[in-house]
Amino acid sequence: MDISQIETLRRLPVAPARHVIDGELHDASDGQVMQVTSPIDGQTVTTLPRGTIVDAQSAITAARRAFDDGRWSGRNPAERKKVLLKWADLIEAQALELAVLGVRENGTEIAMAFKAEPLSAVATIRYYAEAIDKLYGEIAPTAPGTLGLVHREPAGVVGAIVPWNFPLMIGAWKLGPALAAGCSVVLKPAETASLTLLRIAELALEAGLPPGVLNVVTGEGGTVGAAIAESMEVDVLVFTGSGATGRRLLEASARSNLKRVYLELGGKSPNVIFADAPDLDEAVKVTANGIFRNSGQVCIAGTRLLVERSIHDSFVEKLKAFSESMKVGDPLDPATVAGAVNSRRQLQQNLDFVEEARVAGREIVTGGQQILQDTGGYYMSPTIVTGVRPTDRLAQQEVFGPVLAVQSFETEDEAVTLANGTDYGLAAAVWTSNLSRAHRMVRRIRAGIVHVNTYGGSDLTVPLGGVGQSGNGHDKSLHAFDKYLDLKTAWFKL
């Protein structure tokens, strides 16, 4: 990355954003806007349309029309692939501009944002573009005189609601397979992270995506998100975010057309360290990065550290030292390791969790405070809390901030009980040199992904999804197509 270019991009004014509906840019139907406040310094970056039900319905109507007339769904896979690959190229050409724009809006440190946002989106779109003309139908093993065929067809109009922590990465996890499959999409970004998704939607039109195939409407979840969820014209709804919102989306599906709903609802992921871990110093480093990068605003973050009692004190001491060495600050400084918390509201929620633990008598080993107040931004020191009990709110509920809850265990069975001791089941990790133990733990821990001797870093070749209250369905890998393709049987008498 060119540091001087980052500084130039930081200072550029950002024009007021507009919806992308049916291939054109639109203000809100009533002219209302929302302020975009940067968590870096608390200053206003630009404005977004405060979308209305009318705006959402316009986008849904455009997507329905585009799907039904076959302008995209009717194209052969090779043609769709060509457009999507061009779209990926255009995003890649503007990767640094997109990364800086996103950081100004949501506070992720630039070193992470550059790779995890535009470059990740590029890789995802290319992956699904290349895959779509390699998915075959099936011929059933029928009796002589009959022929059974199984066709895969695009499911229709997709409503996608994505969060603020990694809007391009998570957005691409939805858009890549949905568009490759031939669906049309109405995308609702988070109120605090819409700018980059609006920008790549414009690039999609430049790449040749027909009008109406990808529509982006900004606004509040209770208005725009609810209108998408309750629409009779939306066939599939995909969402990443909170469990409370996920429940409302399921209720909306039941009230409307019983649209399929796929939810990724976060987690309270355990990171289990056995005394025989192959490299405890590496485990310390990865543990810290797995909870404190992006200020803990990662759905699979290792928010619960479970350490074998014989090494608990020494491990925590090393972790404390490493965490205190991490640079927290200006996310547009390439040397920063952990950037800003997304919003003042999120920062206060993080601090409330820590204060509750303090009042309950838990030990705050390090951190737990707001820092860098003079910047006007929202920053929090990496926080380690020990002595956490299984029933504590800090052990049960997702903080979505740089707060690590530490517990100890003595036996493998106790570790499994603690690991499975929440309603969530998104991610986990196990550190051990014992191969048999590693396999046992992978089988016994209830989670969509279990890392062994690492944390994070899985690529597009494997699915990401959870169990329990972490949701259903999968992003990433070829399995993601299952959400956006319908199976149709053709049965012939010969």
Task: Single out the residue of 34, 91, 29, 80 nearest to residue 57, CA to CA.
Answer: 29
* Whether 332 contacts 106, CB under 8 Å: no
The residue behind tokens 């990443």 is 240
* Whether 21 contacts 217, CB under 8 Å: yes
Tell me which of 109, 191, 230, 299 is the catalytic residue. Answer: 299
366 bridge partner residues = 384
Tell me which of 105, 109, 230, 264 is the catalytic residue. Answer: 264
Q: Measured in whole angstroms, how far is the alpha carbon of residue 134 from the centre of its chain? A: 27
Strand extents, DSSP E, 56-210: 138-139, 146-154, 157-161, 184-188
Residue 199 CB contacts under 8 Å (≥ 6 apart), including other chains: 94, 98, 101
Q: Is 264 a catalytic residue?
A: yes
The residue behind tokens 């003079």 is 374
Q: How is residue 449 written in tokens?
A: 């992904």
Q: Is 183 a catalytic residue?
A: no
Q: Which residues of 200-221 are buried (b: 16+ CB within 10 A; e: fewer)?
A: bbbbbbebebbbbbbbbbbbeb
Q: Which residues of 58-94 are buried (b: 16+ CB within 10 A; e: fewer)?
A: bbbbbbbbbbeeebbbeeebeebbebbebbbebbbee
Residue 379 CB contacts under 8 Å (≥ 6 apart), including other chains: 295, 328, 329, 340, 341, 347, 370, 371, 372
> Rounded to 5 degrees, what are φ and ψ at 286?
-70, -35
Residue 79 CB contacts under 8 Å (≥ 6 apart), including other chains: none
The residue behind tokens 């992270």 is 193
> Rounded to 5 degrees, what are φ and ψ at 449?
-140, 135
As a whole number of angstroms, the distance between CA 1 and CA 16 comes to 27
Long-range contacts from 364-367, C-beta under 8 angstroms, 24+ separation:
365/316, 365/320, 365/406, 366/320, 366/323, 366/324, 367/323, 367/402, 367/403
Question: What is the DSSP annotation of 354-380?
Answer: HHHHHHTT-EEEE--SEE-GGGTS-EE
172 bridge partner residues = none
As a whole number of angstroms, the distance between CA 356 and CA 396 comes to 13
As a whole number of angstroms, the distance between CA 262 and CA 173 comes to 13
Residues designated as active site: 264, 299
